[in-house]
Structure 1
Amino acid sequence: MARPRQFDKNEVLEKAMLCFWQNGYEGSSLKNLEEATGIGRISLYNTFQDKEHLFIAAQNMYYQSSNDFMSQFYNENATLDDLVKFIQNVISKDPDEAPAKFGCLMVNTALDTKTISDQIAENVKNYRQMIIGHYKSLLGRLQKNGEIRSDINIDSAAEFIIGSFWGAMSISRLYKDRSVAKLQLDMVIETIKGWST
């Protein structure tokens, strides 16, 4: 008879996700994951198969959390000012606050393309498309309502926002300093404000 699991799977997964988020896929050893989750490798393997499947499950949790947040934030009442405030909030977050100091799990993973599987890379691409979809939905509605200029290409605008965000997060993680990223995102904010009618 199988021994009943003595831990909450989602709680363990969230702790594993934070470990991957902080250290990256390659940098998160089994020992790191055991220490982070408080679960031995046998239990981790019995539940998630192996490190790669554990990481994919962590990606899925991160994806769902981000999608839920963006669906709530960029609702039908969201404005261009809300988009600006969102970017300003990213800049103003305490750089030492976890998990903010770790950047973005998916961006960090994208920078690790030589050590990740095709499935993990595909999940990063799907995440990126999900984020772009939220931006396109918001900007398309604002343009239809006459709140942003009609000459703005929505696809290009959405790509500009996420490209700037991901670039800023990469720089922040590289230098462990948000000052350069802030300069970049300040310019993004000024550009977005210029889209208003």
Structure 2
Amino acid sequence: MAELRDEIVKKSLLQFLNRGYKGTSLKDLEQATGLTKGAFYYYFKDKKEMLEAGIERYFSITREESDEDAERVATLREYIDLVIRNKEEGADLAQKFFGCFILEVLFFQLVLEVAPLFPAFRERIYTLSKTRLTHWERVILKAKQKGEIRETLDTSVLARNLMSVSSSMLNIEFEEPNLQYVFSDMRMQFEQYYMLIKK
């Protein structure tokens, strides 16, 4: 029974990501999963509860850099490698559970769409973004102090630019992304930034 519930969560979240919450009808969900309305209501009281389970599941498989990681890394380059490694691990977990890679930007858009229904999720996204930015800024300041990168760079602007490289990934198709290409492209973008800012 838990397997069928997981299957509903997987397929429903993909529908919500593709169509938006309002644009996804129960009929769409029935077609995507092959289940009847009665089967849905056995596991979930409504569409909202289904979406909540999907969002929670997505959050459970993401990999984030901790405060300790930001303190521990010795260089900006090392932090970039850590960010990419965590993104790759998260993508592998999404592939295993959802059967495809999920664009973070689509997930964030969905959470913003349903913010009135789930204010706690919107707050989580806000806190996550703020934490990521703080980590990038901390690592950049350390890199400036150690002479790894130029001191004249605006820390906040650079942090936002580097953070956007790791979270946008807009240049791939949703259903069938080539993950090797995605992460090699991300590495190449980071490398270009690094070449421009290093001393």
TM range (shorter): 0.5 to 0.7
Q: Secondary structure at the match of 1:159?
A: helix
Q: Which amino acid aligns with 1:109?
A: F
**Which digits, 9 at most, give the CA deviation of each residue in 1:170-195, with x for residues without a partner?**
21135835648744641322312554
Residue 74, structure 1, aligned to residue 76, structure 2 = no
CA displacement at 1:159 relative to structure 2: 1.1
1:155-194 equivalent positions in 2, closer than 5 A:
155-167=156-168, 169-173=169-173, 176-177=177-178, 179=181, 182-183=184-185, 185-194=187-196
1:50-65 equivalent positions in 2, closer than 5 A:
50-63=46-59, 65=61
Mapped contact 1:161–1:188 kept (Cα < 8 A) = yes
Q: Which residue of 2 aligns with 1:108?
A: 106
Counterpart Cα distance in 1 of 2:68 and 2:107? 25
Counterpart Cα distance in 2 of 1:60 and 1:180? 25
Counterpart Cα distance in 2 of 1:17 and 1:146? 48
Residue 117, structure 1, aligned to residue 114, structure 2 = yes
- Structure 2 length-normalised TM: 0.58
CA displacement at 1:94 relative to structure 2: 9.1
CA displacement at 1:136 relative to structure 2: 2.6
CA displacement at 1:24 relative to structure 2: 4.0
- Unmatched segments (≥5 aa) in structure 1: 1-5
Counterpart Cα distance in 1 of 2:80 and 2:48? 36
Q: Secondary structure at the match of 1:171?
A: coil
User: In the comparison of the two structures, how many residue pairs are matched?
Assistant: 179
Change (3 A) 1:196 1:61: farther
Q: Which residue of 2 aligns with 1:135?
A: 136
Q: Which amino acid aligns with 2:189?
A: M
Q: Sequence identity, in percent?
A: 11
Residue 98, structure 1, aligned to residue 99, structure 2 = no
- Unmatched segments (≥5 aa) in structure 2: none
Change (3 A) 1:101 1:64: closer
CA displacement at 1:111 relative to structure 2: 5.3
Change (3 A) 1:133 1:12: farther
Mapped contact 1:135–1:158 kept (Cα < 8 A) = yes
Q: Secondary structure at the match of 2:79?
A: helix
CA RMSD of aligned residues (A): 4.6
Q: Which amino acid aligns with 1:42?
A: Y
Q: Which residue of 2 aligns with 1:3?
A: none
Change (3 A) 1:166 1:150: same
CA displacement at 1:160 relative to structure 2: 0.4
Counterpart Cα distance in 2 of 1:17 and 1:132? 30
- Structure 1 length-normalised TM: 0.59
